[in-house]
Chains A and B, each alone.
Chain A
Amino acid sequence: MREVAIVGAGMTRFGEIWQSSLRDLFVEAATEAMRNASADHLDAMYVGNMSGGQFVGQEHLGPLMADHLGMAGIPAARVESACASGGVALRLAFMEVASGMSDLVLAAGVEKMNDGADVTAVLASAADQEAEAYHGITFPGLYAMIARAHMEAYGTTEEDMAAVSVKNHRHGALNPKAQFRREVTLEEVMNSSLVAAPLRLLHCSPVSDGAAAVLLCPLERAKEFTDRPVKIIGSGLATGSMALADRNEPAFLDSVSLSAGRAYKMAGIKPSDIDVVEVHDCFSIAEICCLEALCLVERGKGGEAARSGLTALGGKVPVNTSGGLKSKGHPVGATGVAQAIEIFEQLRGESGDRQVADASIGLAQNMGGSGASSAVHIFQRV
């Protein structure tokens, strides 16, 4: 296997981007990534996208996006793993370069959610249709059930979860690409309207439009494109039970644990080696559960992490310095790639006000559904 590096990145701002279509968003992010690396061609491309078909009635995104990028002819395919689509697209691009099959591969993600679809129903199609969505469950509802199970098992409180939102908004306020560039107080979170009890509006990531793209190549060629490449040293993908009811411990995310274990093993590092982390905080409770499954905190101790400052900028393990899905926004198919971009920029020292000093190893964890799929990537400064 060849060593693989990220040499360029591009992303749109995340938010309600009414004037841009699905393809506009993609092209903006992809061209920026290529320009960033001064690349003039691609050998292949993977497009992470959860549900172009349901959100805007557009499937077959591989050729569509290659065409609009002026690259018709290249191998390109759309990759779907619900909200982990971006992370899985990155993994496939990584494997393609590592295997020696291709040299210059774009891993992108895109989602256009604000175009009039019943977003709650579309997202629910990433749950088990027959056993879950049929009964009127929603994604906030699934994570609310995970939250309640975590509260039952470990005494986690609504304040613990609210602290995650407060922290991520504080980080996101520093991110020019974030959907919500403002801080929120604990009181605002605790008093926001209920979406799915015990989760409130400010425990939930927003409905977002956006795209993100990274350019991968063999490490040995990285200097042709940038003087500050970032290596991908670990990649783990795992699946878990689709339906929440099929999990013995609803509060523990098996797929996250498995995918992390695989990535740590490939990278040959320990959780304590990580300097900066992006996790899939689609809901505040998800960050708590992911930290535990990633072994960044002990099982059951995720609730304290944000409240104690452990995971804030300046803390021992800064988590979601981008603002996370909560503040930066969550255009579902784009999220996994956007997480990689945050780590890429942190390891290159390009994160400005939210820079983690001397970050050398970073991790990005991207999750699909209520945790039925998880992709973890570990990156290292070169």
Chain B
Amino acid sequence: MPSPRYWREIPSRYRLEASRCCGCGKVAYPARKVCPACGADDWKQIQLSRHGRVVTSTVIHVPPDDFLMEAPYAVAVVETSEGARLMVQVVDCEPAEVVPGTEVNLEFRLIRREGHGGILCYGYKGVPAG
């Protein structure tokens, strides 16, 4: 990932910044310019809580080359209490334990490395709560 592109995403990747539509209340993560639900373009910035619940999930056994060392790993769509949904890996557990309904905390982790000498790319991953 070229570093300018990584840098632009820092607010959502580092701080879970999202936006709530002033028209209909929809929470968009990452933030958007136009509300996909009502078309409004007036937003209030919010920060997502670092807690959510798995909506659906999978365990990746055949990964892209960049993730070869991590397989098998769980990936899930997680819904936060604000109603935002985000796709994250769920780690520090048996991947098969990650199923719809699993409560997770979001922890800041290294997501990927750009080759041997490139930048390190961070973001959030889920960890089963409790």
Contact with A along B50-72 (1 / 0, CB 8 A): 00000111111111111100101
Which single member of A132, A145, A195, A250 contacts B62 (CB below 8 Å)? Answer: A195
Report B-chain residues with C-beta under 8 Å of the C-beta of A193: 61
**Are B87 and A245 in contact, with the CB atoms below 8 A?**
yes
B75 in contact with A136 (CB, 8 Å): yes
From A135, A194, A244, give the contact of B61 (CB < 8 A). Answer: A194
Is A190 located at the chain interface by the 8 A CB criterion?
no
Contact B63 A148 (CB under 8 A): no
Q: Which residue of A lies closest to B85 (CB)?
A: A245
**Pair B121/A134 contact, Cβ less than 8 Å:** yes
Complex Cα distance A196/B64, Å?
A: 12
Measured in the bound complex, the distance between the Cα atoms of B61 and A193 in whole Å is 9
Contacts of B61 in A (CB 8 A): 193-197
Q: Pick 20 A–B contacts, CB within 8 A, sort by A.
A: A120-B62, A120-B64, A130-B30, A135-B89, A135-B123, A136-B60, A136-B73, A136-B75, A138-B62, A140-B60, A141-B58, A145-B76, A148-B100, A149-B56, A194-B59, A196-B61, A197-B58, A197-B72, A245-B77, A246-B36
Within 8 A of A (CB), among B72-115: 72-73, 75-77, 85-89, 95-96, 99-100, 111-112
B39 to chain A, nearest CB (A): 15
- How many whole Å from B3's CB to the nearest CB in chain A? 14
Q: Does A227 contact B (CB under 8 A)?
A: no
Decide: A145 near B67, CB < 8 A? Known: A196-B61, A245-B86: no
- In the docked arrangement, what's the CA distance between A198 and B60, Å? 10
Interface centre among B58, B76, B89 (most CB of A within 10 A): B58
Count of chain B residues with a beta carbon within 8 Å of a chain A beta carbon: 39
- Please report the C-alpha to C-alpha distance between residue A295 and residue B37 in the assembled complex, in whole angstroms: 25
Does B9 contact A130, Cβ atoms closer than 8 Å? yes
A146 to chain B, nearest CB (A): 7
Q: Flag whether A11 is at the interface (Cβ < 8 A).
A: no
Beyond contacts A135-B87, A140-B60, A196-B60: 12 other A-B pairs, Cβ-Cβ < 8 A, are: A118-B64, A124-B64, A130-B12, A134-B111, A134-B112, A135-B89, A136-B89, A140-B62, A148-B57, A194-B61, A196-B58, A246-B85
* Interface residue tally on A, bucketed by range: 35 or more
Query: B-facing mask of A229-253, CB < 8 A → 1, else 0?
Result: 0000000000001011110001000
CB-nearest residue of chain B to A148: B56
6 closest A-B pairs (Cβ-Cβ)? Answer: A144-B58, A121-B64, A197-B59, A245-B85, A149-B56, A136-B67
Residues of chain A within 8 A (CB-CB) of B59 are: 144, 194, 196-197
Which residues of B are interface residues toward A (Cβ below 8 A)?
1, 9, 12, 29-30, 36, 55-67, 70, 72-73, 75-77, 85-89, 95-96, 99-100, 111-112, 121, 123, 125
Query: Inside 8 A of A134's CB, which chain B residues have their CB?
Result: 1, 111-112, 121, 123
In the complex the two chains form, what is the Cα distance from A243 to B61 in whole Å? 21
Query: Is A71 in the interface zone, CB < 8 Å from B?
Result: no
Closest B residue by C-beta to A145 = B56
CB neighbours (8 Å) of A120 from chain B are 62-65
Which of A130, A138, A195, A250 contacts B56 (CB under 8 A)? Answer: A250
Chain A residue nearest in CB terms to B124 = A135
Most buried by A among B61, B86, B112, B123: B61
Interface positions, chain A 116-130, Cβ under 8 Å from B, are 118, 120-121, 124, 130
User: A358 interface residue, CB < 8 Å from B?
Assistant: no
CB pair B75–A244 under 8 Å, yes or no, is no
Of residues 195 through 215 on chain A, the ones whose CB sits less than 8 Å from some CB of chain B are: 195-199
Please give the distance in Å from B98's CB to the nearest CB on chain A: 10
Q: Roughly how many angstroms separate A198 CA and B99 CA in the complex, as a whole number?
A: 11
CA distance A138 to B121 in the complex (A): 18
Docked pose: A141 CA to B112 CA in angstroms: 18
Q: Which of B1, B29, B58 makes the CB contact (< 8 A) with A148?
A: B58
Q: Are B87 and A243 in contact (CB under 8 A)?
A: yes
Write the nearest CB–CB distance from B32 to chain A, whole angstroms. 10
Question: Known: A134-B112, A145-B57, A250-B56. Contact between A197 and B85, CB under 8 A?
Answer: no
Contact between chains at B75 and A135 (CB < 8 Å): yes
